[in-house]
């Protein structure tokens, strides 16, 4: 979603801001803009619909010059994606420029009041209302500076925001604030960087301050950093060190981030397992669980909340928790859970799964669960993210930055962490016997190697992709642990190729999707040799009898499916619970190749955002 970049220092701000915006492109956006403050040139303001490239074309050969600037990539919420609605937005007198992520929920009421006071608006955005509100407060008293005016104005705002504001009259300072939308401040040598996540900052400095909710900051070249809450309490900034490496956010020779991330999975899973498997003691080490042992032993129920791909990981985890730990589990879309009146309280553990750790609905679900007395265990990829900070305990997936909008390595790392959590909880609850525990641990250790051998089948998958790239629809089927893999396979394909795809539990095919099957319908099915093998074989026969095409993921050496299917892709045998980590890989690669063949924007598919920070 929207991205924020800001710079204050001795260097030219424009190139730093443009590079930062390009680093944030992965979040998904539809327009961009900059405001640069330079001595004699004053405020130079450019906005353009489309990619950052379009903004650069608009700016032409005379880029704005100055040492203070803000830049933004906008993902439209209020008002169409066009030049006029793009940020930065200016105050009525043109003195202030502001960029904003989030949604100002009471913008309509604020706009009416400001209009009555003579303010005129040129855009449809909630953001323009906010900059007018700050202008109004600033002008209400000569004693107020921009920092104070912003702080006071934010007390009138309902909603979510991360903002950066500059003032023509104050070329030495940048004002920032956040609520429910992240903002990171990088501290360099005599310079400051600001961004909605750390990716634009990491190449300049590792020292960062994460603003907390309802905090307002001023960074100034003369007086340093000052933070207060919007209710005017003093806050001492806490500087943390970024763990991110610059290489991890670059393509490293791959054509797309998605392909790089698919290929990183043997390593990302190893990173995720590191230090957590203790084969000698036949146990799993997870501080987030070990520190709360009695709670996990006595938990009445687990509720898993997540969105998108992370929700699919949650569905697979449900099978694992039931199997390993014999504990009741519910898996919920965070957006549904938070707007019901769910029965949750003490004795319940809410597991929130989120790659970004910033998804607005998942964050809101966490807050609701905490208010009602449940313990919150967060599983996040982004270190220091809002969900990781707001959870009582948790575990990181350690997959490294995921830039491609379609989640791949974060998903398999989530499955790995969830397996470890389910195993540890199963052990604590005496539900997982030591032999199975041991087998699972040995199997987990071999997963990176097994994934590597799947990746080595890439050319075969590319040739299968070529056969089906023009299909208008696709069906994905699976059973048991592999039913959510079918959902995830369909999601991957539709996200990046725009082919309509549906995922179903194979047995449900007869209750509807079978009506769609004809010779134009490819059916991607997981048919590995597990408890459901025979039943899946029957489903395959049913598809073939109606002329459908079968692309089956099978266990290495399988002959039966190979006899009927149009194509088979082999995965190494593994414990049923671990097969999804393997069976999902061919679907990632097939979707990738189809999208490339269709000339889609693989890393930034249309309309999608990497991190959904508005509900």
Instruction: Answer for the pair 598, 16: CB distance below 8 angstroms, yes or no.
Output: no
CA distances from 306 to 315, 332, 360, 412, 612 (A): 10, 7, 10, 15, 12
Strand partners, 90: 97
Q: C-beta of 257: minimal distance to ligand G6P in Å?
A: 13
Q: C-beta of 352: minimal distance to ligand G6P in Å?
A: 8
Query: CB-based contacts of 78: which residues, under 8 Å, 6+ apart?
Result: 85, 103, 107, 124, 125, 126, 127
> What end-to-end distance do the CA atoms of the chain give, in Å?
11
Q: C-beta of 479: minimal distance to ligand G6P in Å?
A: 23
**Size of interface with ligand G6P, in residues (CB under 6 A):** 15
Q: C-beta of 79: minimal distance to ligand G6P in Å?
A: 22
Residue 588 sits in the site that holds ligand G6P (CB under 6 A) = no
Q: C-beta of 27: minimal distance to ligand G6P in Å?
A: 9
- Of 34-42, 156-164, 302-310, 508-516, the segment contacting ligand G6P by CB under 6 A is 302-310
Query: CB-based contacts of 74: which residues, under 8 Å, 6+ apart?
Result: 2, 29, 30, 31, 32, 33, 81, 85, 86, 87
CB atoms within 10 A of CB 445: 14
Instruction: Answer for the pair 20, 5: CB distance below 8 angstroms, yes or no.
Output: yes
- Of 4-12, 178-186, 250-258, 306-314, the segment contacting ligand G6P by CB under 6 A is 306-314
Instruction: Answer for the pair 243, 198: CB distance below 8 angstroms, yes or no.
Output: no
Residue 208's H or E segment, with its range, is strand 207-210
Instruction: Answer for the pair 335, 342: CB distance below 8 angstroms, yes or no.
Output: no
Residue 32's H or E segment, with its range, is strand 31-38
Of 2, 272, 307, 380, which one is the catalytic site residue? 2
Q: Which of 22, 310, 408, 528 binds ligand G6P (CB under 6 A)?
A: 310
- Of 303-311, 439-447, 469-477, 499-507, the segment contacting ligand G6P by CB under 6 A is 303-311
- Of 196-204, 439-447, 551-559, 606-614, the segment contacting ligand G6P by CB under 6 A is 606-614
Nearer to ligand G6P, 325 or 612 (CB): 612
Nearer to ligand G6P, 309 or 416 (CB): 309
Nearer to ligand G6P, 31 or 354 (CB): 354
Q: C-beta of 17: minimal distance to ligand G6P in Å?
A: 25
- Name the E strands within 40-118: 42-49, 68-74, 89-90, 96-101
Q: What x-and-dash track marks residues 343-362 binding ligand G6P by CB under 6 A?
A: -----------xxx--x--x
Nearer to ligand G6P, 153 or 306 (CB): 306
Stretch 439-498 residues interacting with ligand G6P (CB under 6 A) = none
- Of 235-243, 267-275, 301-309, 449-457, the segment contacting ligand G6P by CB under 6 A is 301-309
Nearer to ligand G6P, 407 or 482 (CB): 407
- Name the E strands within 336-481: 348-354, 375-380, 393-396, 473-478
- 234 a catalytic residue: no
Stretch 377-416 residues interacting with ligand G6P (CB under 6 A) = 405, 407
Instruction: Answer for the pair 504, 548: CB distance below 8 angstroms, yes or no.
Output: no
Q: C-beta of 341: minimal distance to ligand G6P in Å?
A: 23
Backbone φ, ψ for residue 85 (5° rounding): -85, -10
- 380 a catalytic residue: no
Could you list the residues that contact ligand G6P (CB under 6 A)? 307-310, 354-356, 359, 362, 405, 407, 608, 610-612
Which residues are tagged catalytic?
A: 2, 610
């Amino acid at each position: 979603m929207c991205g924020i970049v800001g710079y204050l220092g001795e260097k030219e701000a424009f190139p730093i801001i443009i590079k930062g915006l390009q680093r944030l492109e992965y979040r998904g956006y539809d327009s961009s803009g900059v405001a640069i403050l330079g001595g004699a040139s004053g405020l130079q303001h450019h906005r353009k619909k489309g990619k950052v490239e379009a903004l650069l074309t608009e700016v032409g050969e005379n880029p704005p010059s100055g040492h203070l600037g803000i830049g933004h990539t906008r993902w439209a919420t209020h008002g169409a994606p066009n030049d006029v609605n793009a940020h930065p937005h200016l105050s009525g007198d043109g003195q202030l420029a502001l960029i904003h992520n989030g949604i100002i929920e009471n913008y309509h009421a604020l706009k009416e009041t400001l209009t009555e006071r003579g303010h005129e608006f040129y855009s449809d955005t909630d953001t323009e209302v906010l900059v007018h509100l700050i202008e109004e407060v600033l002008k209400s008293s000569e004693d107020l500076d921009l920092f104070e005016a912003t702080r006071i104005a934010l007390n009138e705002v309902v909603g979510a925001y991360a903002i950066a504001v500059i003032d023509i009259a104050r070329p030495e300072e940048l004002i920032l604030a956040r609520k429910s939308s992240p903002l990171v401040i990088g501290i360099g040598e005599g310079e400051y960087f600001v961004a909605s996540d750390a990716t634009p900052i990491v190449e300049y400095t590792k020292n960062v301050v994460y603003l907390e909710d309802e905090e307002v900051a001023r960074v100034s070249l003369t007086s340093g950093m000052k933070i207060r809450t919007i209710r005017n309490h003093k806050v001492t900034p806490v500087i943390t060190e970024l763990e991110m490496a610059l290489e991890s956010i670059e393509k490293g020779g791959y054509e797309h981030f998605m392909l790089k991330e698919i290929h990183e999975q043997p390593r990302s899973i190893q990173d995720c397992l590191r230090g957590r498997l203790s084969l000698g003691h036949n146990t799993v080490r997870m501080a987030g669980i070990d520190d709360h042992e009695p709670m996990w032993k006595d938990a009445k129920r687990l509720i898993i909340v997540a969105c998108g791909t992370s929700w699919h990981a949650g569905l697979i985890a449900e099978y694992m928790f039931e199997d390993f730990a014999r504990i009741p589990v519910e898996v919920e879309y965070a957006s549904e859970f938070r707007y019901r009146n769910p029965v949750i309280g003490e004795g319940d553990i809410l597991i929130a799964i989120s790659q970004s750790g910033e998804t607005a609905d998942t964050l809101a679900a966490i807050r609701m669960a905490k208010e009602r007395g449940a313990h919150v265990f967060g599983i996040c990829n982004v270190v220091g993210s809002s969900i990781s900070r707001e959870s009582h305990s948790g575990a990181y997936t350690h997959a490294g930055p995921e830039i491609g909008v379609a989640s791949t390595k974060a998903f398999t790392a989530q499955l790995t962490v969830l397996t470890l959590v389910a195993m540890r909880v199963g052990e604590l609850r005496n539900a997982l016997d030591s032999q199975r525990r041991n087998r699972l641990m040995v199997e987990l250790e071999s997963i990176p190697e097994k994934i590597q051998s799947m990746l080595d089948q890439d050319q075969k998958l590319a040739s299968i992709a070529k056969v089906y790239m023009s299909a208008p629809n696709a069906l994905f089927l699976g059973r048991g642990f592999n039913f959510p893999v079918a959902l995830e396979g369909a999601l991957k394909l539709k996200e990046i190729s725009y082919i309509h795809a549906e995922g179903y539990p194979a047995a449900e095919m007869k209750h509807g999707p079978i009506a769609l099957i004809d010779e134009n319908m490819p059916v991607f099915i997981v048919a590995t040799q597990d408890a459901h093998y025979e039943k899946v074989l029957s489903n395959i026969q049913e598809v073939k009898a109606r002329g459908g095409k079968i692309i089956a993921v099978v266990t290495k050496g399988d002959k039966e499916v190979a006899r009927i299917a149009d194509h088979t892709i082999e995965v190494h045998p593994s414990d049923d619970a671990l097969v999804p980590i393997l069976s999902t890989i061919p679907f990632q690669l097939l979707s990738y190749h189809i999208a490339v063949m269709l000339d889609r924007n693989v890393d930034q598919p249309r309309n999608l955002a990497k991190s959904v920070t508005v509900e």
